[in-house]
Structure formats: structure tokens, C-alpha cells
Amino acid sequence: MTSHIAPLPSGACRMFHRHHGDLLDGVASVELATWMRAHAAECPACARFDVRLRRGLMVLRALPPLAPSPRLTHRLATIFPDYGLVGDARPQDGARTRRV
């Protein structure tokens, strides 16, 4: 009987997946980023994972920004009068802090 279940990723692949967000956000240490690029160069599965996530992010970033309707904005301002948006309140790339 042939198994159609993908093999479990190696420890290196699990580490790559675990820290991939840090790499994309630019908060991975230089050593970690170097290791991750080297791993992706030699591991087809992680290279595909990296490409898929980067392409997905490109698609998401190309979408027009979302804005609440004027009615929802008014309702939110009524419910939360002390909280207002200042400037561009969307999360920014690299906004997370670097892990030590």
C-alpha cells in the first residue's frame, strides 16, 4: 500500500518554518537569516514554502487598503470616543521587535 501522507519535516525544516515570519519581517538575526537562506537553497520543500508565502504576501500587499464605512467609523467613534486613529494606523512591516 502506498502512503500519500507527506513525510514529517526534519528538525531543520521545523526550525525554518518556525522562524520564517521573522525572516519575512526582517527581525531574524543575521546568523539565523543566513542559516535560513542556506537551508532554503538546499531544501526544495522549504524553498517552495518560502516562495509561496512571499508570493501570497505580494498579492495581499497589492490589494487596496481596507477602510471602514463612514457609518461604522461613526459607530466606533460613538462607542469608543477616547480612541481615534492617528495617521496611518495599519500595522507596519517590521513593526515587531527583534527577538533576543
Looking at the Cβ atoms of 27 and 47, the one nearer to Zn ion is 47
Q: For CA atoms 38, 11, 30, 94, give the dihedral sign.
A: positive
Q: Which amino acid is at 69?
A: S
Nearer to Zn ion, 32 or 43 (CB): 43
Interface with Zn ion (CB under 5 A): 13, 43, 46
C-beta of 27 vs 43, nearer to Zn ion: 43
Minimum CB distance to Zn ion, residue 10 (Å)? 6
Q: Write down the least CB distance from residue 54 to Zn ion, Å.
A: 16
End-to-end CA distance of the chain: 47
Query: Do the Cβ atoms of 36 and 16 come closer than 8 Å?
Result: yes
H runs (alpha helix) in 1-29:
11-25
Q: Which is nearer to Zn ion, 42 or 88 (CB)?
A: 42
What distance in Å separates the CA atoms of residue 48 and residue 60, rounded to the nearest whole number?
A: 18
The least distance separating Zn ion from the CB of residue 98, rounded to whole angstroms, comes to 24
- Distance of closest approach, residue 11 Cβ to Zn ion, in angstroms: 10
